[in-house]
Amino acid sequence: AQTVTQSQPEMSVQEAETVTLSCTYDTSENNYYLFWYKQPPSRQMILVIRQEAYKQQNATENRFSVNFQKAAKSFSLKISDSQLGDTAMYFCGMSGANSKLTFGKGITLSVRP
């Protein structure tokens, strides 16, 4: 079985500043994928970034980057230059060989103007 843990229920950040959202996971598989999804008030799930476990290099997508620590089973998301539109719920997730996504509980991020 695989588990994903997001221990912070809420965070707040000032516009233009940087914030890091934490996530840890557990799995017995060697090949798996990690994701961060954003869910704004519209509730549409939007993929923010993905990381293949076999890749050592941390994934980046514009203002979004991850710190993937495979040995520690940690997968944090860093948002640089936070914007008001980043206000949303963020879910960390992982999938293995069966392609099923397991999500963490999510974190509500508020960007203050």
Q: Residue 5 or 74: which CB sits closer to another protein?
A: 5
Report in angstroms how near the CB of residue 64 gets to another protein at its nearest. 16
Q: Residue 100 or 112: which CB sits closer to another protein?
A: 100
Helix-strand-coil percent breakdown of the chain, rounded to 5?
5, 50, 45
Q: How many residues bind another protein (CB under 8 A)?
A: 23
Q: Which two tokens mark 67?
A: 């710190």
Q: Is 100 in the site for another protein (CB under 8 A)?
A: yes
Report in angstroms how near the CB of residue 99 gets to another protein at its nearest. 5
Q: Which two tokens mark 34?
A: 């990690």
Tally of helices (H runs) and strands (E runs) in the chain: 0, 12
Report in angstroms how near the CB of residue 44 gets to another protein at its nearest. 5
Cβ count within 10 A of residue 67: 14
> Considering only residues 78-97, where is the footprint of another protein by CB under 8 A?
89, 91, 95
Q: What is the CA radius of gyration of the chain?
A: 13
The single residue among 14, 47, 55, 81 that binds another protein, judged by CB under 8 A, is: 47
